[in-house]
Structure 1
Amino acid sequence: MDPLLDLIKERARKHLKTVGEAETEANEWYNEREERRRKINRYIQDIIEEYEIATEPSASQLFATMIAPEVFPADPYSEDYSVEEYVKAKAVLKEVIDQQLVEKKQLRRIVRKDADRLKAKSGKGVRPADILVEIVIDGPKSSRSIADRLQRKAGQPNRDWSAGVTEAARDLAGHRDPENHPNRDIWDEHPLLEGDSDKWQATDYGAIVGTYLSHPQNQRVVLSDFPQKMIDQVIAEFDLPDKNL
């Protein structure tokens, strides 16, 4: 037997035992914190559903997760912490209002619906959705500039899509009376663009819809990417919250 080898093996066994015990303690600590976090979220979710702020369980759960950091103490994991004692319905409701959670949820739904509406339409050689995305990504542009970019992307640089871009952009800007053009999809209530053929730019709402469309794999409308002032203006434009949504 090699005494040195035996010593190394013994120390290795002790080290592994110590590491194993540390991992067990860490897992127990993490599981305990997770259980308390889930309890907090469930409690807040119950309040949200009780006051009929959100009827969908998934929405209630999301709201609870968003509100939780604002309504419980800095250390909710202490041994003597009681969620019932610290989390009050009034605090939860205040956060729902302050963070505009109901309004933002409804706005996300509207954006997704209008994005689908845009994707279903096509113009003369160009889709209105492509026009909006082009402007949102690169900034205000003329019809000629937009047409040039879209023609190159389509592999048709020798064709002139300027007229088609202008027609589609006018629809997105609500420049026509829908009653006089029943076969066109005119965005007169909530325009996505503003300007004319020399310079088209996105409205606040158009910027949100265009950004969502520019990420085809994105399943969520990420409102936090936009200035709060812009979100406030769009929420006011749609007069949210709407009881019918």
Structure 2
Amino acid sequence: MSRAARLLELLQVLRRHRQPVAGAALAQQLGISLRTLYRDIASLQAQGAAIEGEAGLGYLLKPGFVLPPLMFTAEELEALVLGSRWVIKRGKDARLAEAARRALDKISAVLPAEARHQLDSHALLVGPAPAEPAESPWLARLRAAIRDEQILGLTYRDLKGRLSERRIWPFALGYFEQVELVVAWCEQRQALRNFRVDHIQALQDTGQRYPRPRQALLKEWQAQEKIAAARN
């Protein structure tokens, strides 16, 4: 690995952490000595990277620092294109599919020539869906409500065909081969619940923001899933 690539990888590793990371842990991840890591940290700081910390305390990249744009490896480009093509071809959210197309166009427009050629000649293909996916009328609105942490009114048909009216705090969407699930706090049940998107009969915007942060709800749900998995 060249020094430039190593410095970029160090920035990428720091970006993934929200708490200070020990120098020894960073050196181990990068496969370099601790002495080399300290030199790399100092070099990045001299070039303007907002890295806080010192030896013995750990290092943290301050929020808001922007990496040099579009410095992708071949495999990173493959991952971006394959994921975008899956959204375009297999998804049920037309607005998200169009966003994926625009994102690929923007990336291609500003890539260096060699990387643009790799993007345009990408050979990882997405196979056809078992059945033509029907566009969902709810996914875009659910995504917007999750972004804005908005309470939704929900008319829902359960697996037994029974209708119910709910008020939910949606905080995550799960995309599976056949169905999509919205994960939410249900006010009626006073508990976390999963709702199949294709069983939603109607959505009502309440204009109300739910009182707990989305991240806190997500962490609670993840902890609940870990406990359930351990029991099984």
TM-score by length of 1: 0.24
Higher helix share: 1
Higher relative contact order (CA 8 A, sep 6+): 1
TM-score by length of 2: 0.25
The structure with the largest alpha-carbon Rg is 1
Higher strand share: 2
